[in-house]
Amino acid sequence: MPRLYVVATPIGNLDDLTPRMRWALESASLIAAEDTRVTQKLLTVMGISRPLISNHQHNEEARAPRIIERMIAENIDVAVTCDAGTPGISDPGMELVAAAWQAGIEV
């Protein structure tokens, strides 16, 4: 069964990276990012290479169901990130979390 990881990112200092954050990003087959450029920079610093898909305030409502469909069809884990902080708290991510819960996906 696929999982959705909600990954909090550093608000300012990249030294605030955590082992759990690294584990979640490495465990995911796909990362749904608020801004793929910002998340790619973070992944590069961490030495992680994963495909990214944008998930922001202008596309999340339409994109979330498609991400969930892909998770189920391909049985993949997805990490959702925002530019700084925790997704869904004043940032995109809540639509994806809600869609995952509705589909019975572990969050």
pLDDT at 2: 98
Q: How many domains does the chain have?
A: 1
Distance (Å, whole) CA 1 – CA 10 = 29
Report the relative pairing of strands 78-81 and 52-54 from DSSP bridges.
unpaired
In a domain, 13, yes or no: yes
Residue 9: which domain range?
4-102
Judging by DSSP bridges, how do beta strands 52-54 and 4-6 pair with one another? unpaired
This model's pTM is above 0.75? yes
Query: Would you state the pLDDT for residue 58?
Result: 95
Amino acid 67: pLDDT: 98
- Kindly state whether residue 64 falls inside one of the protein's structural domains: yes
In a domain, 26, yes or no: yes
Give pLDDT, residue 56.
Answer: 94
Q: What is the CATH number of the domain that holds 44?
A: 3.40.1010.10
Please check whether residue 59 lies inside any domain of the structure. yes
Q: Are 10 and 17 in contact (CB under 8 A)?
A: yes
pLDDT tens for 10-25 read 988 888 889 999 999 9
Q: Which helix (H) or strand (E) holds 68?
A: helix 60-74
Is 29 inside any structural domain? yes
Average pLDDT, 10 consecutive residues per value, the chain (107 residues): 96 87 98 97 96 96 97 98 89 94 98
Tokens linked to 46: 């961490």
In-domain check, residue 19? yes
